Amino acid sequence: MLSDKSIFTQAVHAGERTSRPDFTPVSTPIYHSVGYLYDSMMDLDGVFGGTRTGYVYPRYGSPTVHALEQAVATLEGAEDAVAFASGMAAIHAALLGAGVRAGTTIVAAGDLYGATYALLDRLFTTLGVRTRFVDITDLNQVEQALTAERPAVLLCETISNPLIKVADIPTLAQMASAAGVSFVVDNTFASPYLFRPLAHGADYVVHSATKYLGGHGDVMAGVIACSADRGRDLRERQKLLGANLGPQEAWLVLRGIKTLPLRMRQHCANAQTVAKWLSDHPAVAQVNYPGLPSHPQHAVAARLFADRGFGGMLSFELRGAGQAEVFRFMEALDLVLPATTMGDIYSLTLYPAHSSHRQLDPDVRAALGIREGLVRLSVGIEDAQDIIADLSQALEQVVRQ
């Protein structure tokens, strides 16, 4: 059919659309196509009408992204999942889906991820949405806020940043349900390996897939897991919001997810070993890690995460240190990298006071427990003893000076 056409026509069409495959690739191909063809216009009409499965346009969904969505839905025990171009796009959409609109109120954890805090505190405020921030580990305070505010949504993270607090999701879900409030949980730090919030009463589970789901520090993505009805509603919103994930990115996250349990097992084991070692070091004043019996939510974490471990995130305070000493420590590290992200295979440090919590007054930071000597460590999947050796030599250098 193409053989008698001009090279201009051949160059455009040759090699394409050869499939209607009667075989199934073992691993999902990356479908970059924007358009899709069907046997008849009535078939296409059926796809638009929802009586036939298929794809029409990538903002409405596409095969590689759909494969990722099915994978996340399976891992989170959800009926559906919807992928987005970033974790922030997913959080934005989940809040709209959960009922946030002008005149409504959100009750949210005070120690949310910095950009989520800013979304509520700056952007949503200008749209007539109020947020009351609470200490999510103080259940009485949450109960009072739910009663007083009659909010549309309760929002928190399973494990928070940078103090690694653990929220009692099952109890919070009961409180939200009793108050008729939608419950949105950012499960980024825990990942479905440690905890599946939907099984414990959450309505929406949100991930920055940029972190543990992708896991290799090479892709930005977000995803929401939820019921089939909520998923349908989110897809309608996504058609208008347009923060869709691209097929290349979806494929990278899908590939990353295949080793999520293996990576998480190593992250948890390494973090437990490193946390214990740090807590015995004289230059370290305090270690925040839910796997340590001294952690205020150690019992909650043990109950939520069963026997799987306590995650890969920890933070610690250098004794008597200010910014100068912390910077010297971070620069003295060799294997552990000072990169502004977390939840991937590399061991990474971050200084919260100048990054995620930079906008806050030093007094407010101190009140939150984020002091000048605090360092966050995302423990990677390298050998724990190599991570410890690097931390040890860097601590030596700071102590000596």
Ligand X SMILES: *Cc1c(COP(=O)(O)O)cnc(C)c1O
Calpha distance 29→65 (Å, rounded): 11
96-125 as b/e: b if 16+ CB within 10 A: bbbebeeebbbbbbbbbbbebbebbeeebe
| Min separation Cβ 285 and ligand X, Å | 25
Residue with Cβ nearer ligand X (209 or 292): 209
- CA separation for the pair 28, 257 (Å, rounded): 13
Nearest-approach distance from CB 11 to ligand X, in angstroms: 38
How many other CB atoms are there within 10 angstroms of residue 252's CB atom?
A: 21
Footprint of ligand X (CB under 6 A): 86-88, 113, 115-116, 157, 186, 188-189, 208, 210-211, 220, 222
Helix axes 247-257, 63-76, angle to 10 degrees: 30
As a whole number of angstroms, the distance between CA 308 and CA 315 comes to 20
Contact present, 124 and 106 (Cβ < 8 Å) = yes
Q: Classify residue 215 as exposed, middle or buried by CB count within 10 Å of its CB (0-12, 13-18, 19+).
A: buried
| Closer by beta carbon to ligand X, 88 or else 179 | 88
Of all helices (H) and strands (E), which one includes residue 350? strand 348-350
Q: Measured between alpha carbons, how far is residue 154 from residues 30, 107, 177, 231, 370 in Å? A: 37, 5, 10, 19, 24
Structure tokens at 231: 């998923």
Quick one: 249 or 325, whose CB is closer to ligand X? 249
Residue with the shortest CB distance to ligand X:
87
Contact between residue 355 and residue 294 where contact means Cβ atoms under 8 Å apart: no
The nearer residue to ligand X, 68 or 395, going by C-beta atoms, is 68
Give 64 or 188: the residue with its C-beta nearer to ligand X: 188
Residue 210 Cβ vs ligand X, minimum distance, rounded to whole Å: 4
Closer Cβ to ligand X, 87 or 197, answer by number: 87
Q: Give the strands of the sheet with 222-226, arranged side by side.
A: 80-84, 222-226, 204-208, 182-186, 153-157, 105-109, 130-134
CB of 35 to ligand X, least distance (A): 28
Tell me the catalytic residues.
Answer: 59, 113, 186, 211
Long-range contacts of 233-236 (CB under 8 A, 24+ apart): 233/97, 234/82, 234/93, 234/94, 234/97, 235/60, 235/61, 235/82
| CB closer to ligand X, 38 vs 133 | 133
